[in-house]
């Protein structure tokens, strides 16, 4: 395996916050939210819908937080001078970015799997094996939108702003995209706003997989966001090379 990838994974592994915010917290939310609002479900089928929906939201929340957290950190590596240091080794700059993309994508997976397991074995969400696998696979693939967003933010912002952005962006995307409260509970204006959030479409992909309905619209929307973030990241990266000194 690529040495830089192993190196980066080892660094992230030392970060305890990652485990807490992107795996443990979404898992606990999945249990609590389902317990609190589960009583509103009239019957077993209603509870199934509700529990599945909460689970999908929390899978999305955990995965997007992990993807953002892992990639925005590129800003810290710029600020410390590490990216500049790497620039005077034979390691190509494209590999540096590619590895961070890979790390962001890899880190999204544990959140997805753990929350899915909690949904299945704690909350009793019943889905076919194929649906489970599709759900995790599709949400994993969709996390690339937030990997792209994280790289864009990490390349654009200075260290302090980037540190703040990890929490703020994750919270904003979750709250406004309807991951913490279903958009059906939103006032009209906020419901309209949710449609401009990549997080909304991300969760929609998962909900459509669970419901067995067509995922074409949310997949297209999410792909659009991914392309937008990706293009912007490339533009920012070309204007301001990785080795540029911050400040």
Partner 1 sequence: MPGTPALDVSGLTVRYGDTVAVDELDLTIPTGQTVALLGPNGAGKSTVVNAVLGLLAPAAGAVRVLGRTPREAVRAGSVGAMLQHGGLPSEARVGEVLDLVRRSFPTRWPLEDLVVTAGIDGLLGRPVEALSGGQRQRVLLALALAGAPPLLLLDEPTSAMDVEGRRAFWTTMRGLAERGHTVVFATHHLDEADAVADRVVVVAGGRLVADGSSAQVKAGIVGRTISFTAAPDRRLDGLPAVTGLTRQGTTVTLRTADADVTLRALLADGGLPDLEVRGATLEDAVLSLISTGTDAPIGVAR
Closest approach, Cβ 238 to partner 1, in A, equals: 13
Closest approach, Cβ 76 to partner 1, in A, equals: 6
Q: Which is nearer to partner 1, 16 or 184 (CB)?
A: 16
Site for partner 1 in 28-87 (CB under 8 A): 76-77, 80-82, 84-87
Of the candidates 117, 81, 75, the residue with the CA atom closest to the CA atom of residue 97: 75
Which of 89, 121, 189, 214 is in the footprint of partner 1 by CB under 8 A? Answer: 89
Closest approach, Cβ 8 to partner 1, in A, equals: 9
Of the candidates 175, 139, 147, 205, the residue with the CA atom closest to the CA atom of residue 29: 175
Buried b or exposed e, range 203-237, using 16+ CB within 10 angstroms: bbbbbbbbeeeebeebbebbeebbeebbebbeebb
Q: Which is nearer to partner 1, 7 or 20 (CB)?
A: 7
Q: Which is nearer to partner 1, 80 or 94 (CB)?
A: 80
Helices 144-156 + 129-142 axis angle, to 10: 20
Q: Which is nearer to partner 1, 39 or 90 (CB)?
A: 90
Q: Site size for partner 1, by CB under 8 A? A: 23
143: which DSSP letter? T
Question: What distance in Å separates the CA atoms of residue 49 and residue 81, rounded to the nearest whole number?
Answer: 49
Question: What distance in Å separates the CA atoms of residue 57 and residue 174, rounded to the nearest whole number?
Answer: 9
Q: Is 172 in the site for partner 1 (CB under 8 A)?
A: no
Of the candidates 162, 164, 192, 188, the residue with the CA atom closest to the CA atom of residue 177: 192
Q: Where in 106-167 does DSSP place strands (E)?
A: none
Question: What distance in Å separates the CA atoms of residue 77 and residue 19, rounded to the nearest whole number?
Answer: 20
Q: Is 238 in the site for partner 1 (CB under 8 A)?
A: no
Q: Which is nearer to partner 1, 59 or 99 (CB)?
A: 99
Q: Which is nearer to partner 1, 64 or 242 (CB)?
A: 242
Around Cβ 63, how many Cβ atoms within 10 Å? 30
Which of 45, 129, 189, 245 is in the footprint of partner 1 by CB under 8 A? Answer: 245
Q: Is 10 in the site for partner 1 (CB under 8 A)?
A: yes
Q: Is 15 in the site for partner 1 (CB under 8 A)?
A: yes
Q: In the complex, which residues of this chain contact partner 1 (CB under 8 A)?
A: 3-4, 7, 10-12, 14-15, 76-77, 80-82, 84-91, 243, 245
């Amino acid at each position: 395996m690529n040495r830089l990838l192993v190196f980066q994974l080892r660094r992230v592994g030392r970060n305890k916050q990652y485990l807490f915010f992107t795996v443990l917290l979404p898992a606990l939310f999945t249990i609590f939210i389902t317990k609190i609002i589960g009583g509103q479900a009239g019957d077993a089928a209603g509870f199934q819908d509700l529990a599945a929906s909460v689970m999908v939201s929390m899978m999305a929340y955990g995965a997007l937080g992990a993807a953002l957290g892992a990639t925005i950190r590129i800003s810290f590596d710029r600020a410390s001078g590490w990216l500049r240091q790497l620039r005077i080794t034979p390691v190509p700059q494209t590999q540096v970015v590619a590895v961070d993309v890979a790390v962001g994508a890899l880190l999204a997976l544990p959140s997805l799997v753990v929350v899915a397991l909690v949904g299945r074995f704690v909350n009793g969400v019943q889905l076919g094996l194929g649906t489970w696998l599709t759900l995790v696979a599709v949400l994993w693939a969709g996390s690339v939108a937030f990997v792209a967003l994280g790289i864009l933010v990490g390349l654009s912002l200075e260290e302090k702003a980037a540190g703040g952005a990890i929490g703020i962006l994750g919270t904003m995307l979750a709250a406004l995209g309807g991951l913490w409260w279903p958009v059906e509970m939103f006032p009209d204006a906020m419901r309209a706003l949710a449609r401009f959030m990549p997080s909304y479409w991300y969760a929609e992909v998962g909900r459509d997989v669970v419901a067995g309905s067509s995922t074409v619209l949310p997949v297209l929307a999410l792909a659009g966001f991914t392309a937008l973030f990706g293009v912007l990241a490339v533009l920012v990266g070309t204007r301001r090379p990785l080795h540029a000194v911050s400040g």
